[in-house]
Amino acid sequence: MKIRVLILFVACLVGSACSEKKKDHLVIGVSMLSMQNEFIQQVADALEKSAKTANVELIVVDAERSSLKQVEQVESFISQQVDAIILNPCEFEASSPAVEKAQKAGIPIVNVNSSTKSKPDAFVGSDDAESANMAMELIAKHLNGKGNVLMIQGYMGQAAQLDRERGAKAVFAKYPGLKLLASQTGEWDRAKSMSLMENWIQSFGDQIQAVFAQNDEMGLGALQALMDAKKKAQVYVVSVDGIQDARKSVEQGNLDATLIQNAEKQGSESLRMAVELAQKKKIKESNILIPFEIFQKK
């Protein structure tokens, strides 16, 4: 994919008239948080698919989790004079300049999946708080509103972590019988979360009744630790994102549930919004929330 971008870029340089010539199709720049993340990859795939049917040319770049890089990427989109930008922000605050710069240059920008402090022309995504809320409700229901829960957080301070924490806390407030035994960061990482869960098993032992992990990678790490310690049977584990590994694990009866963020829909909707904005169409709703789906074994 990067190579394709490079070729496009070189082609542009060689042609050099490419920005002046009237194009017969729209060009949209896309900067994604990290192509190493399976879910983001799925969103990118959906974007590509919709772009093909809409005859839109996409320039997809990977910010590799660096908001600095992301801002630079958007700057280069602006200088290439793309028709619209789709941004999958790395950070709530630090990716904001990207949005501001695009708007200053008069290029419509759509945030997909997560938000930034500066308001874009449109937002397509799911409410992170809602996913955590739904996951915790599942746990509450399973425990009949009473029991001990552990929460594995994402990278501290990231928008997704903050929102998911907020959503989960709301459920704790609603059910006074639910007790948060401990919460620590698993840094979105499977190996780190596995170690964290092993340590928690040492310190809480049989008190643990449920685990909420803020993404599937961490949920799967915790699950592995519980299975190795032969404690899975008494602990209910829910995570969010619905990546393939997690769904498979649910089907095998290991992970209890995951919440699917609809990558397909996030991709196709954000492309639709970007195209409409580029064509200067009037849009009715600038904040499109794609609902989560609960994925659990029947």
Partner 1 sequence: MKNLFLKSPTGGIFIALVLVCLLFGSLTSRFFTPMNMSVILNQVSVNAILAFGVTFVIIAGGIDLSLGSLLAVSGVIVALLSQEGSYALWIGLLLTLLAGMAMGAFNGALVVLTKVPPFIVTLGTMTIGRGVALLLSKGRPISDLNESLNFLGSGDILGIPVPIIFLIISFVFCQMLLTKTVFGRYVKAIGGNEMAAFVAGVRVNRIKLWVYVISGLFAALAGILLTARINTGQPNAGLGFELDAIAAVIIGGTSTRGGKGTITGTLLGVLFIGVINNGLDLINVSAYWQQVIMGGIIILAVVLDGLYQKMKK
**Which is nearer to partner 1, 49 or 272 (by Cβ)?**
49
Nearer to partner 1, 138 or 201 (CB): 201
In the complex, minimum distance from the CB of residue 31 to partner 1, in angstroms, rounded to a whole number: 16
The nearer residue to partner 1, 118 or 185, going by C-beta atoms, is 185
- CB contact at 8 A, 253 and 297: yes
Measured distance between the N- and C-terminal CA atoms of the chain, rounded to whole angstroms: 38
C-beta of 175 vs 188, nearer to partner 1: 188
Minimum CB distance to partner 1 smaller for 191 or for 289: 191
Query: Least distance in Å: CB of 114 to partner 1?
Result: 18
Minimal distance, residue 204 CB to partner 1, in Å: 8
Q: Measured from the CB of residue 189, what is the shortest distance to partner 1 in angstroms?
A: 8
Report, in Å, the least distance between residue 226 CB and partner 1.
11
CB atoms within 10 A of CB 219: 32
The nearer residue to partner 1, 38 or 48, going by C-beta atoms, is 38
Cβ atoms 186, 198 nearer than 8 A: no
> Site residues (CB under 8 A) for partner 1?
35-38, 41, 153, 156, 182-185, 189-191, 194-196, 198-203, 220-221, 224, 228, 244-245, 248
CB of 52 to partner 1, least distance (A): 20
